[in-house]
């Protein structure tokens, strides 16, 4: 039986670091669903629907097959996972501070439904790349092409010009 994994996050916007985790995870899990989660603690630059569309486009651009892109507007991630019959929550981590942030969520999620979280270490070249830093650099007019696919860079630059 194939193991379904969900890869949740804000993805505002998706970076090459996220794509690197996804690409490697495709070889490990039978099926992956990227889940764009509305995080009430953040004010995203792109709506959830826009992010779903952008991720779908970037997966084609990056030639990553076999990944679905879904949206969670409200409710618990574990309930969403259960409805999808997902057995694993996939997360990437870059540093100790990511683990500090992620570990309690992984533990609470397991308390709630026994679902396991699997962490994939980031590739060193993306170990410092985050959506928020990329947005800050782009806002200040810096070149972010090395962190994003072409379509995401274009969408980001256009959004910041509005």
Contact between 7 and 33 under an 8 Å Cβ cutoff? The reply is: yes
Q: In whole angstroms, how close is the CB of 158 to ligand PNS at the nearest point?
A: 22
Q: How far is the CB of 138 from ligand PNS (least distance, A)?
A: 18
Question: Quick check: 39 binds ligand PNS (CB under 6 A)?
Answer: yes
**Nearest alpha-carbon partner for 76 in 113, 32, 116:** 113
List, by residue number, the catalytic residues: 18, 42, 94, 131
Q: Is 59 exposed, middle or buried (CB count within 10 Å of its CB: 0-12, 13-18, 19+)?
A: buried
Residues 6+ apart with CB under 8 A from 133: none
Bridge partner list, 9? 36
Structure tokens at 151: 């379509």
Task: Output 104 or 141, the one with its CB closest to ligand PNS.
Answer: 104
CB nearer to ligand PNS: give 36 or 59.
36
By C-beta, is 23 or 38 nearer to ligand PNS? 38
- Environment class of 156 (CB within 10 Å of its CB; exposed 0-12, middle 13-18, buried 19+): buried
- x/- letters, 61..100, toward ligand PNS (CB under 6 A): ---------------xx-----------------------
Q: Does residue 37 touch ligand PNS according to CB under 6 A?
A: yes
Would you tell me how many other CB atoms lie within 10 Å of the CB of residue 34?
24
For the bound state, the minimum distance from the C-beta of residue 41 to ligand PNS, rounded and expressed in Å, comes to 8
Stretch that binds ligand PNS, among 20-28, 35-43, 120-128, 144-152 (CB under 6 A): 35-43
Binding site for ligand PNS (CB under 6 A): 8-10, 37, 39, 42, 76-77, 105, 108-109
């Amino acid at each position: 039986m194939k193991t379904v994994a969900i890869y949740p996050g804000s993805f505002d916007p998706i970076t090459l670091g996220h794509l690197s985790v996804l690409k490697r995870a495709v070889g490990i899990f039978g099926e992956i669903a990227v889940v764009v989660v509305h995080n009430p603690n953040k004010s995203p630059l792109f709506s959830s629907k826009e992010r779903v569309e952008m991720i779908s486009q970037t997966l084609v651009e990056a030639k990553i097959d076999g990944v679905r892109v879904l949206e969670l507007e409200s409710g618990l991630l574990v309930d969403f996972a259960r409805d999808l019959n997902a057995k694993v929550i996939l997360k990437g981590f870059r540093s100790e501070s990511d683990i500090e942030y992620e570990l309690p969520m992984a533990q609470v999620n397991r308390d709630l439904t026994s679902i396991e979280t699997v962490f994939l270490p980031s590739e060193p070249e993306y170990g410092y790349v985050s959506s928020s830093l990329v947005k800050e650099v782009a806002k200040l007019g810096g070149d972010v092409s090395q962190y994003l696919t072409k379509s995401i860079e274009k969408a980001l630059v256009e959004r910041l010009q509005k």
